[in-house]
Amino acid sequence: MKKIVCSSLILLLSLAASVNAGAADQKIAVPLTFDAYYSYEDVVNAVKALNKAFPKLTKLDLVGKSEENRAIYCLTVNNPATGNELDKPGVYVDGNIHGNEIQATEVCLYFLNYILTKYGENERVTELVDKNCFYVIPTVNVDGRYHFFNDANTSSSNRGLRRPKDDDRDGLVDEDFPDDLDGDGNICMMRKKDPLGAYKTDPEDPRLMVRIKPGEKGEWTLLGQEGIDNDGDGQINEDSEGYVDPNRNWGFDWMPEYVQSGAGDYPFSGEGIKAIASFVRKRPNICVAWAFHNSGGMYLRGPSVKKLTYPPQDIQTYDYLGEQAERITPGYHYLVSWKDLYTTYGDFIEWMVCCNGAYGFVGELFQSSTETFKTRKEEEKVKPETEAEENFFQESNEVERERLKFSDHLAQGELYKSWTAYNHPTYGDIEIGGWVKLSSRLPAPFMLKDLVHRNAMAVLFSAQNTPEVNMDIFEVKKLENDLYRLRVRLTNAKAIPTMSYYAQQHKLYPKDFLLISGNNIKVLAGGKLQNKYTDTASYKEHKPELQLLFVPGFGSVEYQFLVSGKGSVEIKYDSRHGGKVTKTLQLK
């Protein structure tokens, strides 16, 4: 089919091609740069470059392969000189679980680039890398990222996994994608002149349309996204990539399709999702997780459904971390998923919290409100309330007009394609135009550096607050003959407890333990010290030498032991999330 392309469209095509080529062809060197988006191939080269530049601090793991056999990589950052990775608090970060949410990968890459290039130069960063182990998967949906860059899309399309599905139940799968009719690399909107249509031209900006009021003559009918009837069934664009939402396919509180759209046939049916789940389960030291998404300017915590509740002590920890993240990133809001956004089933962060005992946040990144073109006076102007009838029949285009001014003056028009004539095989003479794929939910490249830096700093703040446990043997008292009283204090200087209260409540994994041992000693009694002044302790009945416990955030616990014998005594603390501490003393 011949495509009719006018000279202005050719110009737009060249601009779009230069944007994509700039991202795909940029040379990957350390330190990484963040003035353009990285393609999937560039992401792979970037993590390999970081691994090569910092071989003593990093390990590159092939987590698994996608449906289309693309590699999913995790770059692990750990200083082996300060301990084994599994003996340290683990901080997990990922992005781009939805294929179109590309700036989430940029946050992950920036975070890696920052902590590695600042190591040894910045004292705080050096301490954090020495203390923690960081697991970063920049791109979860690797097929989605590849196709977002290489195929025509809207800013919201190409979210799911590439698992074939018969969306229109015609016995065929994925046979009727939207089509890039004008060949500019974008899927925009189609409209047709129609006096009976529901829209007319916006009198303030002819590129926009407004809904007509009752009795008014129409001018335009919206036909939906660019496309043709590829399978000859009388419908257009009804069967694109088979839809499994990778953030609805996890194995906690999963619900079938009739409850949760995009859930897939069963939990972990996604190849990459299953591989990442296996990877995480082999790293039980992960105590806090961040998953970065696309748009909204939000830091979300669970629960993701109303029926699920978090213990109040965990909410205190979330509030401490979430409110600080708000301060770090102006305009963002720290919110509760089900209450402030919407209910979801089978999502990743809830699986991390409720199956793995980590604390988890979702970072929804871009704030479309930052696409402004106003004077200070215009910003301060109070907007009058619009009548309900006018809102319904003639939608206000104020936000769209503002975004167009932003595109015109700060992106030189590259974010919006003006309406262009096209001869459609079904609809006849139509026009194609609207927002291009690298717009709307994505910051323009010049806005990227601030976004990725602030969100990386929110992750670093949570890393600063992973458990940090110190052991103090604050009393060794001889009571009589070979009988001694030992008192041990474990103090956590940070906000995150060594075991979440949810994990304790649901017995997700064993508690921390405190163990006293020695060749020539016997522990006669041991338990939590209730009051050191009245010598009140709740002694454990069996195996008093082994105490099961956790250390709260910004808190401490004290234990008392009665020990008989002489010689060397080892006191060992061991925690999944709080690390390991061992001290020895001599009883004489």
Distance between CA atoms of residues 498 and 492, nearest Å: 8
The H-or-E segment that residue 402 falls in is helix 398-410
Residue 416's DSSP bridge partners are 435
CATH topology for 31-149+243-366+444-464 is Aminopeptidase (3.40.630)
**Is 80 exceeded by the pLDDT of residue 387?**
no
**Is 70 exceeded by the pLDDT of residue 390?**
no
The pLDDT value recorded for residue 168 is 79
CB half-sphere exposure, 34, CA atoms < 13 A:
22
- Strands 133-137 and 90-95 come out as parallel
For the segment 403-407, the average pLDDT, to the nearest whole number, is: 95
**Could you give phi then psi for residue 459, rounded to 5 degrees?**
-65, -45
Which tens digits make up the pLDDT trace of 261-311? 999 999 999 999 999 999 999 999 999 999 999 999 999 999 999 999 999
Q: What does the block give as tokens for 389?
A: 């009838």
**Could you give phi then psi for residue 222, rounded to 5 degrees?**
-80, 130
pLDDT category, 175, cuts 50, 70, 90? confident
Average pLDDT across the chain, whole number: 92
Q: Of the candidates 137, 399, 458, 97, which has an alpha carbon nearest to the alpha carbon of residue 249?
A: 97
Q: Are 94 and 136 in contact (CB under 8 A)?
A: yes
31-149+243-366+444-464 matches 469-587 in fold: no
| Annotated domain spans of the chain | 31-149+243-366+444-464, 164-241+370-435, 469-587
How far, CA to CA in Å, does 131 sit from each of 188, 197, 468, 577, 582? Answer: 48, 63, 9, 12, 16
The pLDDT value recorded for residue 376 is 87
Which tens digits make up the pLDDT trace of 505-520? 999 999 999 999 999 9
**Is 50 exceeded by the pLDDT of residue 24?**
no
For the segment 120-142, the average pLDDT, to the nearest whole number, is: 98
**Is the Cα torsion angle 225, 226, 231, 232 positive or negative in sign?**
positive
CB half-sphere exposure, 222, CA atoms < 13 A:
15
Q: Are 235 and 168 in contact (CB under 8 A)?
A: yes
CB under 8 Å to 299, separation ≥6 — which residues? Answer: 322, 325, 326, 329, 332, 333, 334, 335, 361, 362, 363, 364, 458
Q: What is the chain's length? A: 588
For the segment 397-404, the average pLDDT, to the nearest whole number, is: 91
**Is 70 exceeded by the pLDDT of residue 343?**
yes
pLDDT category, 494, cuts 50, 70, 90? very high
The pLDDT value recorded for residue 383 is 55
The pLDDT value recorded for residue 276 is 98
**Is 80 exceeded by the pLDDT of residue 238?**
yes
- pLDDT above 70 covers what percent of the chain? 93
For the segment 497-501, the average pLDDT, to the nearest whole number, is: 98
Q: Of 19 and 449, which is predicted with more confidence?
A: 449
Which tens digits make up the pLDDT trace of 428-456? 999 999 999 999 999 999 999 999 999 99
**Is 70 exceeded by the pLDDT of residue 12?**
no
**Is 60 exceeded by the pLDDT of residue 19?**
no
* Yes or no: domain 469-587 corresponds to CATH 3.40.50.300: no
CB under 8 Å to 462, separation ≥6 — which residues? Answer: 91, 288, 290, 321, 325, 359, 361, 496
- 362-127-96 Cα angle (round to 5): 25
Distance between CA atoms of residues 136 and 155, nearest Å: 25
First to last CA, the chain: 95
Q: Where are the alpha helices (DSSP H) in 64-175?
A: 103-118, 123-131, 142-150
Show the 3-state SS of 151-189: CCECCCCCCCCCCCCCCCCCCCCCCECCCCCCCCCECCE
CB under 8 Å to 330, separation ≥6 — which residues? Answer: none
For the segment 202-222, the average pLDDT, to the nearest whole number, is: 95
Q: Which has the minimum average pLDDT: 238-242, 481-485, 519-523?
A: 238-242
**Is 80 exceeded by the pLDDT of residue 5?**
no
pTM exceeds 0.85: yes
